[in-house]
């Protein structure tokens, strides 16, 4: 589970011969700027992707810093619209974030997709784990217990 974004969770797995993407946090993104960002649709293996740098801004005032991606609302057939589940990667191959929601304005003529970016100081060290081993009768109970423990604030 990620701070400020309870709908997201990370699953660690390895693929032989592949390195994981480096993940930027919000401070790193602020320093590098919003140039050379690309939107990717999950499962399209890069076939559905588009540059989005000219459509991005940072929302720093809501408590949880986010990347905002402007959609044209009802609009353009040529624009790849950002939707929940899409992800953003830099031209250099660094992971920026994942789109978690959309807000509509002006009766749907204008939309902003909200993209979760890792917070400053985020570390995978000490992250909670939920076992995902074989599916037997105890698996589902231990999975549910792991989710409850992860979502419950630690004291």
**Each residue's pLDDT tens digit, 140-150:** 677 677 677 76
In a domain, 12, yes or no: no
User: Which pLDDT does position 118 carry in this prediction?
Assistant: 87
Please report whether residue 63 resides in a domain: yes
Position 125 scores a pLDDT of 73
Segment 94-108 mean pLDDT: 87
Statement to judge: residues 129 and 153 lie in one domain: yes
Q: In this predicted structure, what is the pLDDT of residue 126? A: 65
Higher-pLDDT residue of 112 and 11 is 112
Tally of structural domains, the chain: 2
Range of the domain at 82: 26-122
Structural domain contains residue 70:
yes
- Residue 95 and residue 22 in contact, taking contact as beta carbons nearer than 8 Å: yes
Strands 49-51 and 95-105: unpaired
| Residue 117 burial by Cβ neighbours in a 10 Å radius (0-12, 13-18, 19+) | buried
Q: Could you report the per-residue pLDDT of 17-62, keeping only the tens digit for each?
A: 777 788 899 999 999 999 999 999 988 877 888 999 999 999 877 6
Would the pLDDT of 129 be above 80? no
Query: Percent of the chain beyond pLDDT 90?
Result: 35
- Judged against a pLDDT cut of 80, whether residue 74 lies above it is answered with no
Read off the CATH number of the domain in which 43 is found: 2.40.10
The overall pTM is greater than 0.95:
no
Distance of CA 14 to CAs 64, 86, 106, Å? 30, 21, 44
80-100 pLDDT, tens digit each: 999 999 999 999 999 999 999
128 has pLDDT over 70? no
> Do 132 and 118 have their domain in common?
no
Same-domain pairing of 134 and 113: no
Shared domain for 115 and 146, answered yes or no, is: no
Q: What is the pLDDT of residue 90?
A: 95
Asked whether residue 138 carries a pLDDT value surpassing 60, the answer given is: yes
């Amino acid at each position: 589970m990620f701070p400020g974004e309870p709908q997201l969770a990370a699953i660690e797995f390895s693929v032989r011969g592949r390195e994981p993407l480096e993940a930027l946090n919000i401070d790193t993104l602020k320093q590098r700027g919003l140039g050379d960002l690309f939107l990717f649709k999950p499962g399209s293996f890069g076939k559905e992707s588009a540059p989005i740098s000219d459509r991005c801004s940072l929302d720093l005032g809501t408590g949880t810093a986010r990347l905002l991606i402007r959609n044209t609302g009802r609009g353009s057939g040529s624009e790849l619209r950002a939707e929940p589940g899409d992800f953003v990667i830099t031209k250099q191959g660094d992971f920026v974030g994942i789109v978690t929601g959309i807000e509509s304005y002006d009766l749907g003529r204008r939309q902003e997709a909200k993209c979760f970016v890792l917070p400053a100081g985020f570390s995978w060290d000490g992250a909670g784990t939920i076992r995902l081993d074989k599916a037997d009768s105890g698996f589902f109970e231990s999975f549910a217990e792991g989710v409850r423990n992860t979502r419950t604030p630690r004291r």
